[in-house]
Amino acid sequence: MNKLILAVGKVLQKKGYAGLTIGNISTEAEVDKKLIYLYFGNVNNLIETFLKQRDFWNIAEKGVVDEILQNPDELGKEAVSKLLQSQYNRFYKDKLFQKYIHWELGEKTELLRDIANTRAEIGEKLFERIEKDFLVEDIDLRSILALQMAGISYLVLHAKTNGSPFCGLDINKSDDKERVNKSIDYLVNLLYKQVNK
């Protein structure tokens, strides 16, 4: 099973999304394609298994999401900053996750939609715990964090896809990459300062 799951990633890197066929995956894994049906039922279930293992929210990078959900009273600016920085750093390092997000943005499939829905459900649990600090000031926390998370994704995809600077920042250079980490923390602190937290 693991050989097949790993083969999905290798095929995705070598041949792109269109290359994710039963033949290509079984050849890459060096196993009979019948095993895909035996272990996963079909190729889509195999691909879904691979994608769920790679998705930031589903794997809860280094336990960050799980830790936050288990300790809701400790959820504050440090935890939010840590979560956003963890997303940024994982996304920056993980080429397969970058390809996966490209695929998700470029194609509309039921499989990708299901994974996005699962991600949204996990995000909803986090928002329910975070938003209570911002209701008094009527701050649209969801929109602010959506812009920040989308910015993180775009910045990484831009740097890793075409390698050119964005707004004068080249996050492929360690100094600029660290500047973004510091800015994530700065923006979260600024947000919490608005509600005296």
**pLDDT per 10-residue tile (average), the chain, 197 residues:** 92 88 96 95 91 64 63 77 89 85 84 82 82 79 91 94 92 97 96 86
pLDDT the model gives residue 58: 52
- What's the pLDDT at 64? 62
Q: What pLDDT score was predicted for residue 62?
A: 46
- Among 128, 146, 154, residue whose Cα is nearest residue 191: 146
pLDDT for the residue numbered 104: 85
The CATH number given to 1-49 is: 1.10.10.60
Q: How many CA atoms lie within 13 A of 98 on its CB side?
A: 19
The pLDDT score that the predictor gives to residue 160 is 93
Looking at residue 141, what is its pLDDT? 87
The confidence score (pLDDT) of residue 18 equals: 86
Nearest alpha-carbon partner for 181 in 69, 59, 92, 55: 92
